[in-house]
Each structure stands twice: as structure tokens, then as C-alpha cells.
Amino acid sequence: MHHKNSNMRQKTSDTIYGIRPLIEAINSGKEIDKVIIKKGLGGELIHELLTLLRNRGIAPQYVPAEKFGKYGNRNHQGVIAYISPVDFAPIEEVVTRVWERGETPFIVILDSVTDVRNFGAIVRSAECAGAHAIVFPTKGSARIGADAVKTSAGAIHHIPICRVNSLKSTLSFLQLSGVKIAAATEKTENLYTNAKLDGPIAVVMGSEEKGLSESTLKMADELVAIPIKGKINSLNVSVASALIMYEVIRQRGL
């Protein structure tokens, strides 16, 4: 049923122009992926929208007026939003359900992965590897639009996608739930094949440019690295993610 619903959502326009249409979309329960607001906007209506966004945990992105030129003569009133083609799931509910089913949690967390094709490819690998969920922060992540759906080969509709406002709080919740945090980074000599990944696990992958944030590295229970023998010094994040995910499968004997 979820799959069918998601396909129906895909066929609708994923862009909303204007303050009131966005307020109506939020109130009707649409999953808002990203909101862009022109800097310096004021008035009662924008105040109402900002309050609504804050209550829903949606952080808008403020941009200069010239950035709105590409939207032509559409009546956007300085506000443009994108509807997500997927319904996001609360990570707390996902983990609870996994434990209740008697399964061992296997979560993939993406810390600031901004490339939409990498995001889609990771979702595809995660679904194939039997991961229970993909988690990513609202701020500084790829937009979950049509490109992400396409690159995931539809896998995005078959695995819970969890968007969180605070990665730190999510990592803390997972640890309190008995899930080990393994963070992939080049800042360790500990190879991923030597790490114990067969228990309840959340694998954290960072962006190719910046890697993992300091706060994520500090919270991790174990840092793991993939050996690099060539001159480039870094793997594509979707390839690196797949390697570690399939190491989880190998260690679990699946």
C-alpha cells in the first residue's frame, strides 16, 4: 500500500509557489522537503508560515532576491517549496518495530551527503542489503526529489526514510536503544573488516568533501576505515557505504 501511495505522490507537481499555497499544503499534511524564502520578507502571512514551519521542524533556507530570477514570472511571493515524493518515517518508531519483530537493527545514517545521486545509490544498496532505515538530517542533506527516486531504482519506496532535525539526538536515542554507532572515517587505523558489526548497528557515512562532523565522530562507539591503496585517497561515498553494509551482512552470516 505504501508503494502504491508513493507512486501516486510522484505524479503530482513537487513545487509549491507562494506563501498561502504552502501554508495550505502543510496544513493538509503534505510532506515538505525543502523551503526557500527570500531574505527580508515580512508581514503577518510570512510570520504565520514561519511559525508553522518551526512547529513542524522544517528549517527554511533564506536566499537573496536575485536567486528567485530563475523562477521567472511565477507568483511565488518570495517563497518556494518542494514536496517530497516519499513519506518520512520517525526513526523511533522504526527501531521499536524492528526490536518487536525480534530482528537486529541495521540502520544507515548519512551525515551531510549532499549529492542526490549518491543519496539514491546508497538507498538502493541499503535496501538490497536488508537495512531497516536510512536516516539523514534536515539541514545540509540532498533533496529527496525525482532524481533521488530514479537513482535508487525505486528502492526509496521500499525502505523507511527518516529525516531528523538533530543527528546528535538521533545518535543518542539509538545508543540508548542498544544500537552501536560505527562511523566511517579516514581518521582511524581500525579497518572496517576488523570491527564488530554483527550486533545492533548504525553505520554513519559522511560527505565526500567534509567527511563526518566532529560531533558525530565524538559520539561514535567505533571508528572504522576502508583501506585505500591508490593515489586519490577517497572512495565515492555510495561505494564506501555498500562495502560496509555488505560487511555487516557477511559478519551476520546472512
Give the pLDDT of residue 74: 67
| More confident call, 40 vs 94 | 94
pLDDT score for 32: 86
As a residue count, the chain comes to 254
Residue type, 241: S
Cα gap 117→120, rounded to integer Å: 5
**pLDDT tens string 153-166:** 889 889 999 999 89
Quickly count: other Cβ atoms within 10 Å of residue 236's Cβ: 14
Burial class (CB in 10 A: 0-12, 13-18, 19+), 196: exposed
Q: What domains sit in the chain, N to C, each tagged with a CATH number?
A: 2-83 (3.30.1330.30), 91-252 (3.40.1280.10)
Over residues 234-238, the mean pLDDT reads 87
Highest mean pLDDT among 34-43, 109-118, 237-246: 237-246
Question: Cα separation of 220 and 112, whole Å?
Answer: 16
Given a cut of 50, is residue 7 above it in pLDDT? Answer: no
Residue 10, pLDDT score: 38
Give the pLDDT band (50/70/90) at residue 179: very high
Report how far residue 96's alpha carbon sits from residue 133's, in angstroms, rounded to the nearest whole number: 12
- pLDDT computed for residue 73 by the predictor: 64
Q: For residue 182, give the 3-state DSSP assignment.
A: strand
The pLDDT of residue 232 is above 80: no
C-alpha cell at 158: 521500499
Q: Are 189 and 225 in contact (CB under 8 A)?
A: yes
Share of the chain above pLDDT 70, in %: 93
DSSP string, 45-105: HHHHHHHHHHHTT---EEE-GGGGGGGTT---TTEEEEE-SS----HHHHHHHHHHTTPPP
Range with lowest mean pLDDT among 71-80, 90-99, 153-162, 211-220: 71-80
What is the rounded CA–CA span in Å between residue 160 and residue 3? 11
- pLDDT band of residue 12 (cuts 50, 70, 90) is very low
pLDDT tens across 24-77, in order? 988 888 888 889 998 888 888 999 999 999 888 788 889 888 877 776 666 788
> What's the pLDDT band for 237 if we cut at 50, 70, 90?
very high
Q: How confident is the model at residue 138, as a pLDDT?
A: 83
Range with the poorest average pLDDT among 83-87, 144-148, 213-217? 144-148
CA distances from 43 to 48, 60, 145, 179 (A): 9, 17, 30, 46
Of 16-20, 54-58, 196-200, the one with minimum mean pLDDT is: 54-58
- What is the distance between the alpha carbons of residues 185 and 169, in angstroms, rounded to a whole number? 21
Contact between residue 134 and residue 204 where contact means Cβ atoms under 8 Å apart: no
Write down the pTM of the prediction: 0.79
pLDDT band at 190 (very low <50, low <70, confident <90, very high): very high
Q: How far apart are CA 117 and CA 121, in angstroms?
A: 6
